[in-house]
Amino acid sequence: MVAIRPLHRGWKDALIDLIDSAQRELVVAAPFITAEGTKVVADHLSAAVRERGRLEMVTDLSPAHVCDGSLDTDALAGLASSHSRCSIWHVPALHAKVYIADSERAIVTSGNLTAGAFYRNAEYGVEIADVSLVGQIRADIADFQAIGAPVAADSMRNYADAARTVREAFARQRAKVDPTLRRAFNDAVRSAETELIRLRLAGGAMHTVFAKTITILLARQGPMPTPAIHAMTQQLHPDLCDDTVDRVIDGKNFGKKWKHAVRTAQQQLKKRGIVEYDDRVWRLMVGTKGTA
């Protein structure tokens, strides 16, 4: 196989071949996933992956994608329920479309896992068979997963129920200009967003998510001052970094709550010897690998 080859028309056939070839792990990273896409995965997943491998589905479960029909949470929930070795990952603001088999072959493309990408859109990408390069791509997707959150099958079903309510409320309020319907839609969206944040934190504190993010940023970007860490953390976690929520103690405002959580993460990483602060910048300690 050529180390790198272009894909455009008929890229679905190349994707099916990649899915068929996976023996240990299949990784699918795409923000838009519909029933047509999950069916392609389910129909062509090898027996080896079903029985003893891993299927990693990495996407963005944001309600906005549910509303416009680009993400079918019921299809994802069905895939997770029918394949015991399937893991769903929620990564806010994910835009990458990457498909990887066994860290040996990868497709990097404009195409999502949807019928539109398969049959209608003018998509373009490349298939890569260079093991070293594919390994780096897999490591980058693992970083995305580290700053996101795994979603268990039962949690995925619960979120699919909430997403269905959002989708139905959106359709009703679009069909008729009615303040009551708009309020019901906004309530449904807030409920779904709250459920997503609950999944992201998994019963833990916000600073635990930020600790992973900080170590990955420092490993990838090098030493950074706190303002730069704030800016990049907010870009990666828009759902957790809400500038409208302040930390108030005894009636006094102490700034943005999420920034205090970042500071807590920084101090805990420093105490554990993972990072150091010197000359107004944070850096990884020598010998650490960028994992919190």
The tens place of each residue's pLDDT in the chain, 292 residues long, gives 679 999 998 899 999 999 999 999 999 999 999 999 999 999 999 999 999 999 999 999 988 888 778 899 999 999 999 898 899 999 988 999 999 999 999 999 999 999 999 999 999 999 999 999 999 999 999 999 998 889 988 888 888 888 888 777 776 666 566 666 666 656 665 666 667 666 776 656 788 889 989 999 999 889 999 999 999 999 888 888 888 877 554 555 445 889 999 999 999 999 999 999 998 999 998 776 555 5
Q: Where in the chain is CATH 1.10.10?
A: 206-284
Q: Where in the chain are all domains bearing CATH 3.30.870.10?
A: 4-155
pLDDT reported for residue 249: 44
Question: Would you tell me how many other CB atoms lie within 10 Å of the CB of residue 4?
Answer: 13
Predicted pLDDT of residue 134? 97
The pLDDT of residue 215? 92
Q: According to the model, what pLDDT value does residue 105 have?
A: 97
Q: Measuring CA to CA, which residue among 88, 115, 145 is closest to residue 32?
A: 115
Which pTM was predicted? Answer: 0.78
**Contacting residues for 274 by C-beta, under 8 A, at least 6 apart:** 215, 284, 285, 288, 292
Q: Residue 91: what pLDDT? A: 92
CATH of 206-284, one of 1.10.150, 1.10.10, 1.10.3470, 1.10.1220: 1.10.10
The C-alpha atoms of residue 197 and residue 190 are separated, in whole angstroms, by: 11
Q: Which residue shows structure tokens 């000359």?
A: 279
Predicted pLDDT at 248: 53
CA distance 167 to 173: 10
Please tell me the predicted confidence (pLDDT) of residue 95.
95
Q: Are 177 and 42 in contact (CB under 8 A)?
A: no
Cα–Cα distance for residue pair 292/285, rounded to 1 Å: 12
Q: How many CB atoms sit inside 10 A of residue 91's CB?
A: 23
At the topology level, CATH places domain 4-155 in Endonuclease; Chain A (3.30.870)
